[in-house]
Structure 1
Amino acid sequence: MQHVKIVEVGPRDGLQNEKQQVPLAAKLELIRRLAGAGFAAIEAGAFVSPKWVPQMADSAELLKALDASDTIDTIAYPVLVPNEQGLDAALAAGAREIAVFGAASESFSQKNINASIAESLRRFESVMRRAQAANIRVRGYVSCVVGCPYEGQVAPAKVAEVAAALLDMGCYEISLGDTIGVGTPASVHLMLDAVLRKAPADRLAGHFHDTYGMAIANIRAALDSGIRVFDASVAGLGGCPYARGASGNVASEDVAYLLQGEGYHTGIDLTKLVAAAWYIADALGKPPASKLAHALGRQA
């Protein structure tokens, strides 16, 4: 049975767009439940400006609390780092893995991080050097791999170029994000065909949003192209604060159900995952966005 890894991004990418502040204790409980459900990688926080992303202001406290947990040696807790200042804070908090993020769209890059694609990549070079010197693993994100809210369709060749640049810098894996969820299986295949000419499938991951209800279909298409790592967010939390109309990430429980039904091993306990989805949904005062959470109902 082939293994497919699900990287749980709910505690960071899922919660960052929530206006209601989630207490640190609730975030830690969510992560504890996700760890208990079997995830080997849980994106825990982001060392970004609290002015722009206030939900992530407690990332240092959270990471320090996780460092004292009994899961720190068995589960990866990557954190997002936009620049050297963010890296300083992440290292001080004890980060063992970080993620850097670029875009395949010039307009999105400018509006998201106030830098061109080329400038953003140059900015990451010093971050990468310092991270490698500190023996910190680095994952790379590429946003807008299918479409951009400002430019429309994104050229697959541009996605391949940015992904290859991040790999050359030393990222161990590149997560390809359909940030505004406009992808279809056909467009995903075209994008991956281009990227796979410059990067092997075992260094790539898929990150799909469900704005148009296509995320599960796009994951199935990516599986056909050889991708075996997917990002997903418990209860379908999240979205992109810089992309109007972009709904949440695909729900982790829906992805796990798909993969298990297709005969892949994920290591995820669906009952515990659904319980985690209801937990964070209750904390936010809204129902989970996933189909499976409603189909199975509340789990103990």
Structure 2
Amino acid sequence: MPPIKDTGKGNATSSAQDKANATSAPRPKKRKGGEAASSMTGAQAVAAIAAMRTQPPGQLEFGINSIPPQKRDWYKRSRPKYIHPEGAIQERSVKAKYPAIWKGIQDLGLSYVFKNTGDINLNLVREFYAGFDPIETKELVPIRGRLIDFSAKAICDILGAPNVPVEPLEQFIRRPTYRELRHMLCGVDSTTAWVWDKEINRHKRFPKKKMKAEAQVWLKLINPRLLPCNHDTLVSRVRTCVQYFLMTGQRVNVDHLIRHQMAQVKMSKRIDRMSFPNFLTRFLLHERVEVEPD
């Protein structure tokens, strides 16, 4: 998925190249001889790994002192104003009112959206964001003396979600079947038009109020757990395409969506929001990352 700015506010394989494709950031440039350019020099990489070696008990640092030097500037600039807590969706209510949608969620392997998301450790999440690099093909994130595996497999395993190919969704986002999408979301008689963006010369957003009731229910399921946003009066292109995929029974790679949102946060000029705080807290505690003493 190309890095589409979404202020509306995944074929994951084991190869490094496919993992790189599973992020929303641009691919790294190639050096002469075909070697992918790294985000840091060899000396910097050695220093970073050395810095991440487990520290003796009682000497572990938190906050900015635990951040690798080359990532501290981002940490200082991050002032999260918008935190998107991932509230659990009421399964009993969805199953009673919309049994077909409930079954669709089960068939798509997304039943985790009905589970309690747990608490938020904002300091832990902020440090993890600081260490997260969207173009790091090894998908290792440094945090508090550890290098954490943040690969598609690790993410999908903890959520119990399917680790499926990302290319079908990426291709659909680039070239949607506009007529079929409109009919699915709004009905076969709809003439609803996308909002056109003159700057990027493409359809950018879709009006929520024109969607039929079933589509709006799906959107309510997507917003808190898959693609958090501040508002959805006009639904982003990515969100609309994901919505169409789910409504037509096509599986999506949750890892791809999570990394897409996180990459947007890291590349944003205004670092004032953080997505997936509940999931990231749960993920890091599952990986036994040290937490601050009370």
Q: TM bucket by the smaller chain? A: under 0.3
More strand by share: 1
What's the TM-score once normalised by structure 1's chain length?
Answer: 0.23
What's the TM-score once normalised by structure 2's chain length?
Answer: 0.24
Larger RCO of the pair (alpha carbons < 8 Å, separation 6+): 2
User: Which has the greater radius of gyration?
Assistant: 2
